[in-house]
Structure 1
Amino acid sequence: MSEISILKDFQKRQMLFMELYKKAFPAVARYISRKGGNYEEAKDIFQDALVIYYEKLISKSFSPINNEKAYILGIAKHLWIRKLGSNVINDTIESAESEAVFAEEHLRTDKLIYLLETAGKKCMDILRAFYYEKASITEIAQQFGYSGTRSATVQKYKCIEKIRETVKEKSLAYEDFIE
């Protein structure tokens, strides 16, 4: 099955995005952190990089890539440098790949996944749909069987609050997810 046909199926596309998130976000977060950014900025840059990658992936002129993680990290580095106002890019693809491997080894994904799992599967699905699939609240209400957008909004808020409470209870910080 071709990459484009996978992207047309919602569930397969969702699985692809989750796989890319697991592969590439740790490297992007590590890079942004090292360059003086915070977790929120890392999430924003990663989302932008993922959108750019997705747009390139579905374009007909795009050729396959050997290392998606390094490619997304490269896009994220470019976006971060552009955000900071610098036009100088000193990093090479080789350093991007090695940094991606290093960051992945040092990010405690087990803690992050545990934290998200404490909110429950339905919450994870709602948050994934909203933040990673960019589904509207109306779409989420329909997809998850809520009576209206207000109910879906309240449920999304409750899910976020569950995660925040877990973070507060355990006194976790961004640094807790990096070894």
Structure 2
Amino acid sequence: MAKTIDRQQMLMELYKSAFPAVAKYVARLGGSFDDAKDVFQDALVIYYEKTVTGQLSAENNKAYLLGIAKNLWFRKYRDEHTTEPLQDDVLNMADVAEDQISSNKVLRYLETAGKRCMELLSAFYYHKQRMKDVAEQFGYSGERSVTVQKYKCLEKVRDAVKQQSLSYADFIE
């Protein structure tokens, strides 16, 4: 009976000390207060099960509990917030007649990635050059380096679009 009271008190203390940090983390990633409560309670159950089975000492492991909660929220956030790759957006835009696309807007967002990125993306997408040729042209050590740089350039463009909260319709006149 005394062991149960000790565990209950330990869990209450963990709840009071760790929940605010979890709530702040979840809120920062776009979650609600209810999301934070759900994630924290799931984490608390996992933590409790590990202490009861002896996989974890019953000492105040606030950091361990926070790690469980952050991992649970990250998984939930990742599963619920999948993004469509930019390449699919570009392919969808190609289906629209060229005169409907506001090339100035597209160009402006491509320019946010920088001149070198624009040249690299142009060589790959517009001029349809092979990765090996692009690597030689831009002085990269190999095709893998070009692939990584192309990805970084696309991420810069994605970030610029996300910052402006733009949708596909914003590019149509």
Q: TM range, normalised to the smaller chain?
A: 0.3 to 0.5
Task: Tell which structure's C-alpha radius of gyration is larger.
Answer: 2
- What TM-score does the superposition give when structure 2 sets the normalisation length? 0.44
- What TM-score does the superposition give when structure 1 sets the normalisation length? 0.43
Higher relative contact order (CA 8 A, sep 6+): 1
